[in-house]
Amino acid sequence: MAGDAFGTVANLMNSGHVETVFIAGKVKKWRGDLVGTDMNRVRQLVRESQQAVMQRENFNVDLLAAG
């Protein structure tokens, strides 16, 4: 990876390294924080989606069950 700037960026960077994002001229991330995103709603949708997948596949996670 030494001497390969593109490979370094692709493999070692993450969203925390991005400070500002503009999409179609609109600010979407500013000073490291998302702008105009309801993170509580996003988390709710993720939980609902996870539950739907688990139910559809008949998968039950019981962290307290003895193995």
Instruction: Provide the β-strand partners of residue 29.
Output: 21, 34
Strand stretches in the chain, DSSP E:
21-23, 26-30, 33-34
Q: What does the pLDDT read at residue 67?
A: 53
Q: What does the pLDDT read at residue 41?
A: 96
pLDDT digits (tens, 9 = 90+) for 7-41: 888 888 888 889 999 999 999 999 999 999 999 99
For residue 53, which amino acid is it?
Answer: V
| pLDDT, greater one: 54 or 63 | 54
Tell me how far the alpha carbon of residue 51 is from its chain's centroid. 17
Provide the whole-model pTM: 0.53
